[in-house]
Structure 1
Amino acid sequence: MVTSLPAWARLRAAMGVLALVAVLGAQPAGAQSAGIGDDRPVIAALDTGRRAELQRAVDAQLAASRGGRQSAANEITFGGGVVMVLPLPGEERAPVWSRARGTRSATADWKGCPDDTSPSYYCFYADINWGGRRLQFSALYEEKPVMFSDYGFQDQTSSWVNTGKFAIIVDGYGGGGQWSLLWREPPASLSASVQYGDTAQRFWAVRN
């Protein structure tokens, strides 16, 4: 025989469900990424305050981007293998990507941009001297340019690295439907600054 709950018990259960829904609904858009597991020593060394500071920076970047998800304590992954790596609190440069697999050269210094044997990586940095957030790519984009705004990075590139075999062509919008070439990145090259800093809005990655 099934015994129904008394009215007061049903009311209490219903109120509990409503309270849970209210709490979940109050979470910010990036809250699903908070507290992600990351046992790297550089992350474990952060105190509670700096971890919270880092998470706020990640959440702000997620809010400014399209389609990204937090994949490590200081990393955001997008479709197509695109990754943004954020500096740790108190540091000027972003650390090495958590999934980097090694390098092709023991002598080349690519400023944290992955130098795997394959694929071929190229990176954009928010600050001069390869500082600040690092946005890294590895694919060809010959048919359609990549818009920096999709990654919350429009008008923010201040230095760059191109470790591989593609040529990178960076444009800025000049108004009136006209795009202007800002700079070109030859294969296996890097620059600590750009002549037209904080104006890059899109790029192409083409076969050299």
Structure 2
Amino acid sequence: MTHSRVRRLVVRTAGALVLLAAPLGAQAASAHSPAGDRRAIITALSESDRDVLQQAVDAQLAASRGGKQTAANEVSYPDGAVVVLPLPGQAQAPPWSGDHTRRSVRGPDWKHCPAPATEPSYYCFYSEKSWGGRRIQFNLFHEEAAVHFADYGFRDQTSSWVNTARGLEVIVDNDPGDGRWQMLWKEPPESLSGSVGHDDMADRFWAVRQ
């Protein structure tokens, strides 16, 4: 499965307008557990929209390594990284289902990138400008090591970003193919940008403690 195929499926997922209204019981479950979130999402979607969403999840799994579907619109990886896909009718991926116990009490609107009051903090990358499309999120466990987007089906697909981490700078690189990495941009601690200026070029990143 190619990266372009992943993107086409995700765009298709975001293209159909649906009313995300679940029964009261499902909504109550959603407020307390990731399992409830999954039930509410599935209940709210039509059968065709569920098929489209599952196709996008399957494409994400096929384009990456070691991923496992952990919610109707989420793929999680053994190192703690998570890809969250937008639901039908949404341009932006919703909050991570695992974030219900880590509500932020600090900072601005972090565009659904987790920002817990205590560490670990997160850095997120988005496939579209203005924090739209798929979101991949990493946490402090990725500090001081090169992380390659190709392992997560996200190579050359970043168009915006958020860094909620205190005291960590994120450095994003491109591989032009000649063996010499080219730095694209730096993300200061607790900052965000809706446009990277180097769309679809990010190949790896580093998180460096300042």
In which range does the TM-score fall when normalised by the shorter chain? 0.7 to 0.9
Question: In the alignment, does 2:177 pair up with 1:175?
Answer: yes
Give the Cα–Cα distance (whole angstroms) in 2 for the partners of residues 72 and 92 of structure 1.
18
Q: What's 2:36 paired with?
A: 39
Q: Report how far residue 174 of structure 1 moved.
A: 2.3
Q: What's 1:76 paired with?
A: 75
Where do 1:105-124 residues align within 5 Å? 105=106, 108-116=108-116, 117-124=118-125
SS of the aligned residue for 2:172 comes to: strand
Q: Report how far residue 104 of structure 1 moved.
A: 2.6
Q: CA RMSD in A?
A: 1.5
Q: What's 2:147 paired with?
A: 146
Alpha-carbon displacement from aligned partner over 1:161-197 (angstroms, at most 9, x marks no partner): 0011211000001232111100000000000011111
SS of the aligned residue for 1:96 comes to: coil
Q: Is the 8 A contact 1:169 1:183 kept in 2?
A: yes
Q: What's 2:56 paired with?
A: 57
Specify whether residues 38 and 160 from structure 1 end up closer, same or farther in structure 2 by C-alpha distance, changes over 3 A only.
same
Out of 186, 199, 206, the residue aligned to residue 204 of structure 1 is 206
Q: Report how far residue 139 of structure 1 moved.
A: 2.3
The alignment covers a number of residue pairs equal to 171
Q: Report how far residue 143 of structure 1 moved.
A: 4.8
Which letter does structure 2 place at the counterpart of 1:86? L
Q: Report how far residue 108 of structure 1 moved.
A: 1.4
Give the Cα–Cα distance (whole angstroms) in 1 for the partners of residues 109 and 202 of structure 2.
24
Q: Is the 8 A contact 1:140 1:205 kept in 2?
A: no
TM-score by length of 2: 0.77
Q: Report how far residue 91 of structure 1 moved.
A: 1.0
Q: What's 2:95 paired with?
A: 96
Q: What's 1:160 paired with?
A: 161
TM-score by length of 1: 0.78
Structure 1 vs Structure 2: percent identity of aligned residues? 57
Runs of 5+ unmatched residues, structure 2 = 1-33
Give the Cα–Cα distance (whole angstroms) in 1 for the partners of residues 97 and 127 of structure 2.
19
Runs of 4+ more than 6 Å apart: none
Which letter does structure 2 place at the counterpart of 1:39? G
Alpha-carbon displacement from aligned partner over 1:17-62 (angstroms, at most 9, x marks no partner): xxxxxxxxxxxxxxxxxxxx94323442111111111001000110
Bigger Rg, which one:
1
Does 1 or 2 have the higher relative contact order (CA < 8 Å, sep 6+)? 2
